Structure 1
């Protein structure tokens, strides 16, 4: 795997909302935005640091004049160009003099910047989504594309490809885009939506992207590696609010400004991989006994659920089908059979999610039905008393799913009392993914013990709770989950719900100390 050196993470404090790091291979610079990232208050500055993160000059720039909220930076021929709200400023790093300034009147939040083809730089404007190409000599610019909430930008001089990543209009549904020399921007597949910030080329086939997951932040983010050739992605969990990163091709170090903590972190992929507890965690919202007992009113926004995982299943607000999460996007398969992507403000009453990263992958070569496939998987599991997230993908000869109808009038019926209202769907020759879990029996009541799967077709038009399936050459991925996190609703319905008491005679005797 690329990016493997094996040194410990280094941390440098003392910045003021650091947003970007750049280098010419010899000197390293950090932009600090000051107290506010959108205000023309003149309190921004650029620091020079050593390759191991020590601050060499806290306020290296500007030596004269002001910077308001400097963000992305790039160095071209010893000129450090920085995006500063509505202007691009250039400084000679040898003598610290201002040698370039271009104001873009229509801009409000110029964000990231990179060297483009010879004599040009590219810069993103997040409010409008414009991507500008600037002629350095002529101090002129043109718009070469528009991506809503465009943020990170990176250009590959060899392949002449331009990358842009976005925050997403709902602050967490951003994507990554690629533009070749004579084409428009195209969205890259097989990477979860996120609140993407920085983007860097590792080599001609790999890129890394920083991802806040959503905004506001909630404790951690992601750092993605994307394989352009195979169109596959993987990630490691990082600390929160990692902004415009810099990747050093010589040392494989990743320089990460932690914006809301005024730090710079320096690490590599191997070191990040050593602390990935969130990936192996199962987050459970609600209690399944309460849900099937009639608590269908949603209380947790999908936006908050995405902070806990990018893979899982649950229930939509007021039922009406099934909820499935895959690659960081949440979908609802309705009782009509229609499958839609859910907005971030949609509420769920029950869900189980994790950040999926497989520990075991194999292919079921022979044709097999649900019973045979699950029997094969069960034999692969080290213990039935552990938790597992399971992904099954490929072409299915046949799939049968179901979805419950919406509920409207209180008191809501128990789920078992509306089984006759289930809607069933049969799909033939279906390409898609089963998303699910195997959970130990001791979690029954909190969740459902054993196997539980939902289906989502590759075109995201079909789905539902799995009842039957059969297929051949199915790819099976298993992630071992090591920790369990549970959160319960705070609404009155849950607080006053009457759970059915089950007596454990042995436990009663132990607690009372009686034979």
Structure 2
């Protein structure tokens, strides 16, 4: 149909449209550009790594707590080797360990996964119900939310009971998360504490990168107890909700993440650990 000469020109044109065969070195953005980029995502959920990587056993990351604090003021996550639960509120970061102890964390600590947001509530209210359990609370809170949107949430009040957990550190070779937690998670039955839960509601379509539904970490007011929330009872809770405009995911820059099996369907594992 075309002469050899025209075919050569077409091939060159197509190559030009879809990219060349050479690689160009990435240039580091200027400081001003980086600041503008960050400002554009101030109302986004920022997350480091994805939940399926953690489920598959990627327990070490190279992001520091100091770098994470630049991305949000409220959030949840974990620490390298699964050494405790990460709790962030008002920019302060705490570690809740398997022995129940609470520690303020330095900016040099490293994390394998975290979800944070610059928190600015756009909806606040008080939920009142005698002996309101966690499941009832989630049903009531859901009525204020759109199931297809993302929200950062803070809840505070007096809790007659909180059932929380934290994992013990893992040893290499790291097993899948569900397997590790079967023998190395520790529960805390907290009674008559006043404190704050921080976390997120995320839609089902985020299931491959995060945990759909509700996910909260708790810290008592005196900062002596807390953990990943499994259940609670409260009579009155002050609720603050911040709708996110979107989300940004940063992939860990290491071989463990590159080798992780992220194709497997891990929905059942998420349900088991939650």
Q: Report the TM-score, using the length of structure 2 for normalisation.
A: 0.81
Instruction: Give the number of the structure whose residues are more often strand, by fraction.
Output: 1
Query: Which residue number in structure 2 is paired with residue 415 of structure 1?
Result: 177
CA radius of gyration, larger in: 1
Q: 1:313 to 1:397 in 2, by over 3 A?
A: same
Please state whether the residue corresponding to 1:313 is helix, strand or coil. Answer: strand
Q: Which residue of 1 aligns with 2:28?
A: none
Give the secondary-structure state (helix, strand or coil) at the position aligned to 1:446: coil
Could you tell me which of 102, 109, 112 is aligned with 1:346? 109
Aligned counterpart in structure 2 of residue 454 of structure 1, from 217, 223, 228: 217
Aligned to 1:378: 142
Distance in structure 1 (CA, Å) of the matches to 2:53 and 2:118: 25
Q: Is it true that 1:399 corresponds to 2:173 in the alignment?
A: no
Question: 1:241-252 alignment to 2 at 5 Å?
Answer: none
Aligned mate of 2:78, from 315, 318, 332: 315
Unaligned stretches of 5+ residues in structure 1? 1-215, 221-238, 241-275, 503-515
Q: Which runs of 5+ in 2 are unaligned?
A: 1-30, 266-274
The answer to whether the aligner puts 1:281 opposite 2:44 as a matched pair is yes
Cα distance in 1 between the residues matched to 2:219 and 2:32: 28
Work out which of the residue numbers 217, 241, 244 in structure 2 matches 1:481. 244
Do the aligned partners of residues 279 and 420 (structure 1) sit closer, same or farther apart at CA in structure 2, a change above 3 Å counting? same
Instruction: Encode CA deviations 1:294-332: one digit per residue, 9 max, x unaligned.
Output: 111131000100110010000111112211111101111
In 2, distance between residues paired with 1:301 and 1:464?
A: 21
How does 1:134-173 map onto structure 2 within 5 Å? none
Of 449, 462, 468 in structure 1, the residue corresponding to residue 231 of structure 2 is 468
Residues 252-278 of structure 1 deviation map (CA, whole Å, 9 limit, x = unaligned) = xxxxxxxxxxxxxxxxxxxxxxxx754
**Normalising to structure 1: TM-score of the pair?**
0.44
Structure 1 CA distance for aligned equivalents of residues 64 and 43 of structure 2: 22
Q: If each structure's helix is expressed as a fraction of its own residues, which one has the higher value?
A: 2
Instruction: Provide the C-alpha distance between the structure 1 equivalents of 2:161 and 2:232, rounded to a whole number of angstroms.
Output: 5
Deviations 1:439-468 (A, max 9, x none): 011111211000000001111111110001
Question: Could you tell me how far apart the structure 1 residues matched to 2:245 and 2:93 are?
Answer: 24
Separation in 1 of the partners of 2:216 and 2:236? 18
Q: Secondary structure at the match of 1:365?
A: strand
Q: How is 1:298-337 mapped onto 2 (pairs within 5 angstroms)?
A: 298-337=61-100
* Shift, 1:496, TM fit: 1.7
Instruction: Supply the RMSD in Å over aligned alpha carbons.
Output: 1.8
Counterpart CA distance in 2 for 1:403 and 1:350 is 15
Counterpart mapping for 1:144-293 below 5 A: 219-220=34-35, 277-293=40-56
